[in-house]
Structure 1
Amino acid sequence: MSTESKRPLSVLMPVYNAERYVAEAVESVLAQTFGDFEFLIIDDGSTDGSRAILERYAARDARIRLTSRPNTGYLVALNEMIDAAGGEYLARMDADDISYPDRFRKQMEYMREHPGVVLVGSTAEIIDPDGDTLHVMGGGWLSHEEIDAALLGGLGQVVYHPSVIMRADAVRRLGGYRAEYYLTEDLDLFLRLAEVGRIVNLAEPLIKYREHLAKVGHARTAQQADAMQRTLVDAHRRRGLAPYAPGPGAVALRPRTHAQIHRTWAWWALGARHVATARKHALRSVADSPLDVDSWRALYCALRGR
C-alpha cells in the first residue's frame, strides 16, 4: 500500500483504447463535489490516443497518478492499483462511464455512517454509445439481503462495478480480484465481500453506465457465461449451499447480433419514454438486419412512440 497519499479515497480507473470516452470520464471524476481523493489511472498499453489525453489531465491536476505501460489486462491493472492505493476507501471508475457530481460525497457519507457496510453502489442511468439515455436500472436490489440473494441467483448486473466504493482493508483481506474468474471478477469479489460485511446500493442513480458494442458482455459473451457459472458454483460451495442451478430470473448469457443489441436498446428507451433514442436504435436494428420481423416491429412501435 502506498504511503504517498493521506487522502481518504482512492479512485481506480484502468484504461485501454478508450479515446472516444475517456476525457468525459476523467472530467466527471475531477468535478466531484467531494474532492479529497487520489486518482489512480493505469493506461494499459493503449494503441489509440488515450495516453495523450490522460497525460494532459495528469499535467493539470496533481490528484492524478498516471501509469502507462504495456498491456496486461484490466484485472491485473486493478490489483496493481489496489496495492498502490493510499485511501481508506476505493472507488471504481471505468473509462467509458460518467460519474454524477455528487457521487463520491453521497457514498462517502453513507460509508462513514454505516461502519458495517463494506461496499456501496448505486442504481445507474444506462446510456448508449452517443451518451443518450436508455433507462435507469438497479432499483430492485438495494438492501444487503436483496443484493446477496440476487447475486447468488445469477440475476445479472445487480451491482454496477463502476458505481461502487469499497473499504480498502476488506478488499485487501480477500486478496482483491481473482484471475481465475476473469470476466466476472467483480461478481466474485462482491459475493466474497457480502460474506464479511454488508453491501448496499443507493436508490439514486450516481453514474451513467455506457452501453456499446465493444463491452465484454457483448464481445465475449460465451466466455463471460462460463466464468459466471464457475463463480456461482464456487460461491454456493463456499457457503455450504445446495449446488448452483439457474432458477427463475437467472440471466442466460448468449451471443447476440448487433441488430438484436440495438433492438434491446430501442425497447429500453421506448419503455422509459426516450422516444427519439428508441427510434435511433430501432432504425439501426433494421439497417443491420432488414429481413428481421422483430426489428421492424420495434421500429413500428418506436415510430408510434409506444
Structure 2
Amino acid sequence: MSVYKESLEKVKLAIDSILNQTYTDFLFLIIVDNPDNLEVIQYLQYLTKCDDRFEMIVNSQNLGLAQSLNRGIDRVVTPFLARMDADDIAESNRLEKQVRYLKDNPTVDLLGTNVIYIDEKSNVIGERGTLPCSSEAISEFMRYTNVLNHPTFMGKTSVFKEVKYRNLLYSQDYDFVCRLLEKNYVVNNLQDYLLKYRVTSSVSNEKKQKQRVAFEQIRHYYRLGKLSTIDIEKTLEASLKNYRADYYKLVDTYNNFVSLLKKKNYLKAISFLIKNLFVKGFVGELFNSLKIFLLKRKYQ
C-alpha cells in the first residue's frame, strides 16, 4: 500500500480493514511517498513496533505511485502480492477468498474483484460489478475499456517482479494489465464484492483529461500488440504536452449523449447525435461503446 496525502483517519480505516481479515498470514508493507506526512509516519512507526507483520518504507522524496509500488514489489518475498489503496476499505474476507482462488487455480497470474463505491464519508454510492471473469474475455474488453479494479489486484509475486509498473503519471494499472495480457499471462476477475472503493470529488477536469489521453494512447498500442515494446513513457510525455481542448469537447459531448439515453429521451438523443457527428472522436467513442455492449452480450 502506498500512502501520499491521505489523512490519518482514512489510512487507519484502510489498515484496520486489513487487520480484521479472516486470513491473517500476511506481511503488510506500506510505502510512504510523502516524507512530510509526519502524522501518518508516526502512526505507522507505532504499528511496526506492535505488530511484526507491518513494515514501512519512507521515500526521501515524492516518487509517484508507480515507482513507490515497484519499491514495494522489490521487497516482497511471499508467493502472492496484493494491492491496497490508502483510502479504501477491504471486506473482511478479501484476502481469504483471493488466496483460495489463486491456490485452487494455479495457472492464474493476476486476480481482480468487483468493488462497492463509497464517498468521502464512507457512504455507499454505487458499485462496479459483473466484470468479465476469464482471461479471454478480459483480453477482448481491454481493447476498449479497463475492466479491472486496481486496488483489488492480487497475483503471483514473481509476475509483479517480472513485469512491474512503468513510470507513468496516469493509467499505470491499465498499462500493467495490458502488458500482462500481451505476454500471455492469465488474468481473472472474481464476481465477489471484496473492496469498498473511495470516490473523491477533488479530481480536476484537467487531470481527468490527461488520464483520458494516457488511456487512449495505451489502448492504441495494446490494440496493435506493441504496448510491451514501445517506450510508452516518452510517447505519453509528448502526448500530454500537446493535448488539446478537443478532449474537453469530446468528453462533454459523449457524456451528454449518454445522459439523454439513460433518461430515455431517445428523440433528443437522436437529434443530439446528428448535430454532433463531426465532433472529433465522437463516432469512435460510440463505436467503442457498441463493442463493449456486444462483448457484454457475448460473455453473459
- State TM-score, norm by structure 1: 0.70
Q: Alpha-carbon deviations, 1:236-288, whole Å to 9, x = none?
A: 22269xxxxxxxxxxx985999xx9xxx9xx9xxxxxxxxxxxxxxxxxxxxx
Partner of 1:75: 66
Task: State the secondary structure of the residue aligned to 1:204.
Answer: strand
Q: Tell whether the 8 Å contact from 2:64 to 2:169 is kept in structure 1 after alignment.
A: no
Partner of 1:298: none
Deviation at 1:46, TM superposition (A): 4.9
Q: Distance in 2 between matches of 1:100 and 1:56?
A: 24
What code does the residue aligned with 2:215 have?
M
Q: Tell whether the 8 Å contact from 1:129 to 1:210 is kept in structure 2 after alignment.
A: yes
Q: In the alignment, is residue 203 of structure 1 matched against residue 194 of structure 2?
A: no
Q: In the alignment, is residue 27 of structure 1 matched against residue 6 of structure 2?
A: no
Q: Distance in 2 between matches of 1:131 and 1:219?
A: 26
Q: Tell whether the 8 Å contact from 2:112 to 2:188 is kept in structure 1 after alignment.
A: yes
Q: Alpha-carbon deviations, 1:217-249, whole Å to 9, x = none?
A: 866112211111121122122269xxxxxxxxx
Aligned-residue identity in percent = 28
Q: In the alignment, is residue 55 of structure 1 matched against residue 45 of structure 2?
A: yes
Q: Which runs of 5+ in 1 are unaligned?
A: 1-12, 241-251, 268-306
Deviation at 1:182, TM superposition (A): 3.1
Q: Distance in 1 between matches of 2:130 and 2:5?
A: 31
Q: In the comparison of the two structures, how many residue pairs are matched?
A: 232
Q: Distance in 2 between matches of 1:59 and 1:67?
A: 14
CA 1:122–1:206: 2 relative to 1, 3 Å: same
Match of 2:154 among 157, 165, 181: 165
What code does the residue aligned with 1:54 have?
L
What code does the residue aligned with 2:64 have?
G
Q: How does 1:180-259 map to 2 (within 5 A)?
A: 181-195=168-182, 196-215=184-203, 220-238=207-225
CA 1:59–1:254: 2 relative to 1, 3 Å: farther
Q: How does 1:45-124 map to 2 (within 5 A)?
A: 45-48=34-37, 49-69=39-59, 70-124=61-115
Q: How does 1:263-302 map to 2 (within 5 A)?
A: none
Q: Tell whether the 8 Å contact from 2:114 to 2:131 is kept in structure 1 after alignment.
A: no
Q: Which runs of 5+ in 2 are unaligned?
A: 228-245, 263-300
Q: Distance in 1 between matches of 2:125 and 2:221?
A: 34
Deviation at 1:210, TM superposition (A): 0.4
Task: State the secondary structure of the residue aligned to 1:21.
Answer: helix
The range that moved more, 132-141 or 86-95, is: 132-141
Q: Distance in 2 between matches of 1:56 and 1:87?
A: 24
CA 1:254–1:104: 2 relative to 1, 3 Å: farther
Q: Distance in 2 between matches of 1:192 and 1:129?
A: 32
CA 1:59–1:193: 2 relative to 1, 3 Å: same
- State TM-score, norm by structure 2: 0.71
Q: Alpha-carbon deviations, 1:106-159, whole Å to 9, x = none?
A: 000100111111111110011111100012213142222222222111x24x11
Partner of 2:265: none
The range that moved more, 14-23 or 203-212, is: 14-23
CA 1:44–1:140: 2 relative to 1, 3 Å: closer
Relative to its length, the structure with more helix (as a share) is: 2
Task: State the secondary structure of the residue aligned to 1:72.
Answer: coil
* CA RMSD in angstroms, aligned pairs only: 2.6
The range that moved more, 60-69 or 190-199, is: 190-199
Q: Alpha-carbon deviations, 1:69-106, whole Å to 9, x = none?
A: 32111111001111111111110000010111110110
CA 1:239–1:71: 2 relative to 1, 3 Å: closer
